[in-house]
Amino acid sequence: MVAFRSLGQNNPRMDQLQAMRVFKRVAERGSFGQAADELDISRAAASGHVAALEKHLGVRLLNRTTRRVSLTAEGAEYLRRCRRILDEIEDAEETLRGARSRPQGLLRVDVPVAFGRYLLLPALPEFTRRYPAIDLDIRLNDRVVDLVAERVDVALRVGNLQQSGLVARRVAQINVVACASPTYLADHGEPKTPDDLRQHRLLATTPAGGGTPDWSFPAPYTSRRLKLHFAMLFNAAEAPVIAAAAGLGITRTVDLLVADYVARGELKLILNDFVVPGPPMSLVYPSAGHQSPKVRVFSDFAADIMRRYHDIVRGWIGPAGLPERDEA
């Protein structure tokens, strides 16, 4: 429990919470002047807040030169903890102000690129219509970020969770399917078993560590046995889907990413007897902020998106369960 108090008898009005806010802004901007302008205080006041905080803690938080301000090692660690504490306070204040009935404020969301493009972005007009007071900072990337360090409120994760201390809500169990455009299949024939893929143009994503894509099917159709040749390789998960829809060959990907293509008739699922269960998908968030109104409504909205796509694919490969939220 953090006790916020005056930072010394000589500074009766300089409380620890305000000093932490000033320090955080100076550290993020790398400038006392810019931080002071944004906080509507004088540069001398900003410097005094940070100096008092350093004296109180007994460590130097910032390295100061005539041109720039940078964090010390102790300052970087303290900044991480300050962000967490101040975010918790902000969430608490939102709730007490009645934000539960009208979610508001900045929401930072992190999702894999392909899922963001195909699932989230098309649904954003509906989300903004429902919650116009929520500002979104959406980050599309395929690396696993540290939610606390990078101040992410909610993230979509595929596969097993790697970061402890998070609350997880499992929203989907995806499957790996093969597909091609009706035009390609009309010209080249439809494969009936994985062995038949050796006679086709195959489109795949390059593995993160390099090498050959692993298209393993249920035994005995292992990647080693099949020895498949790939006509095209891409470094983005959505690229082979687009190429397949253009009639360039057969690809194998996650069912949710091709649901709309199949529904529109631009792609056709093949080898349905050889579908492979894929990893789970979960919404994850720092435990301190998962009850925030803006996080709660976004999580419910994202879960509804996943259910909607499952309704599309359920008839193709059977029902998929949606387990309840659990602790990471």
Q: Please report the pLDDT score of residue 190 as a whole number.
A: 95
Q: What are phi and psi of 22, to 5 degrees?
A: -65, -45
Q: Please report the pLDDT score of residue 327 as a whole number.
A: 39
Q: What percent of the chain has pLDDT over 90?
A: 31
Residue 214 burial (10 A CB sphere; 0-12, 13-18, 19+)? exposed
Instruction: Give which of 39, 33, 35, 40 is closest to 66, Cα–Cα.
Output: 33
Which string of b and e fits 23-54 if b means at least 16 CB within 10 Å? bbbbbeeebbebbbeebebeeebbbbbbbbbb
Residues of the chain with CATH 1.10.10.10: 16-95
Q: Please report the pLDDT score of residue 100 as a whole number.
A: 53
Instruction: Give which of 290, 232, 281, 289 is closest to 85, Cα–Cα.
Output: 289
234 strand-pairing partners: 205
pLDDT in tens, 47-73: 999 999 999 999 999 998 877 888 998
Name the CATH topology of 109-172+282-327: D-Maltodextrin-Binding Protein; domain 2 (3.40.190)
**By 3-state DSSP, what share of the chain in percent is helix, strand and coil, each rounded to 5?**
45, 20, 35
The CATH number that domain 16-95 falls under is: 1.10.10.10
CA distances from 212 to 152, 182, 235, 242, 244 (A): 33, 27, 12, 20, 19
The answer to whether 104 touches 297, Cβ cutoff 8 Å, is no
**CATH of range 175-278; options 3.40.190.10, 3.40.50.300, 3.30.230.10, 3.40.718.10:** 3.40.190.10
Instruction: Give which of 131, 157, 85, 148 is closest to 293, Cα–Cα.
Output: 131
Top-confidence range, 56-70, 113-127, 220-234, 241-255: 241-255
Q: Please report the pLDDT score of residue 6 as a whole number.
A: 47
pLDDT over 70 (residue 297): yes
Q: Please report the pLDDT score of residue 8 as a whole number.
A: 46
Q: Please report the pLDDT score of residue 291 as a whole number.
A: 67
Q: Please report the pLDDT score of residue 316 as a whole number.
A: 63
CA atoms within 13 A on the CB side of 102: 4
Q: What percent of the chain has pLDDT over 70?
A: 84
pLDDT-derived band at 268 (thresholds 50, 70, 90) equals: very high
Placement of tokens 């593995």 in the chain: 207
Residues of the chain with CATH 3.40.190.10: 109-172+282-327, 175-278
Between 208 and 265, the more confident residue is 265
pLDDT over 60 (residue 312): yes
Q: Please report the pLDDT score of residue 315 as a whole number.
A: 61
pLDDT over 50 (residue 272): yes
Q: Please report the pLDDT score of residue 257 as a whole number.
A: 85
Predicted model pTM? 0.62
Return the structure tokens found at 320.
């998929």
pLDDT over 90 (residue 251): yes
pLDDT-derived band at 328 (thresholds 50, 70, 90) equals: very low
Q: What is the mean pLDDT of the chain?
A: 82
